[in-house]
């Protein structure tokens, strides 16, 4: 069982969030530099409105 699965099963939400963040970070590091810029643009949203 993975650390993430155990954390979710035990309701350890902060640990689960850290596991997800680490996985995201590792994935971003594998992207080409121009892809990271595009990813940040998408996350920022239209007209600079984050999360909308």
Would the pLDDT of 46 be above 70?
Answer: no
In the predicted model, what is the mean pLDDT of residues 1-10? 95
Q: Which pLDDT score, from 0 to 100, does residue 21 have? A: 95
Q: Which pLDDT score, from 0 to 100, does residue 49 have? A: 57
Q: Which pLDDT score, from 0 to 100, does residue 33 have? A: 79
The span from the CA of 28 to the CA of 39, in Å, is: 9
Per-domain residue ranges for the chain? 3-48
The span from the CA of 19 to the CA of 46, in Å, is: 29
pLDDT tens digits along 14-37: 999 999 999 988 988 888 878 888
As a whole number, the mean pLDDT across the chain is 85
Q: Which pLDDT score, from 0 to 100, does residue 41 have? A: 82
């Amino acid at each position: 069982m993975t650390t993430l699965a155990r954390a979710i099963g035990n309701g350890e939400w902060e640990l689960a969030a850290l596991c997800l963040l680490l996985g995201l970070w590792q994935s971003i590091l594998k992207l080409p530099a121009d892809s990271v810029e595009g990813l940040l643009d998408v996350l920022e949203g239209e007209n600079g409105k984050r999360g909308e």
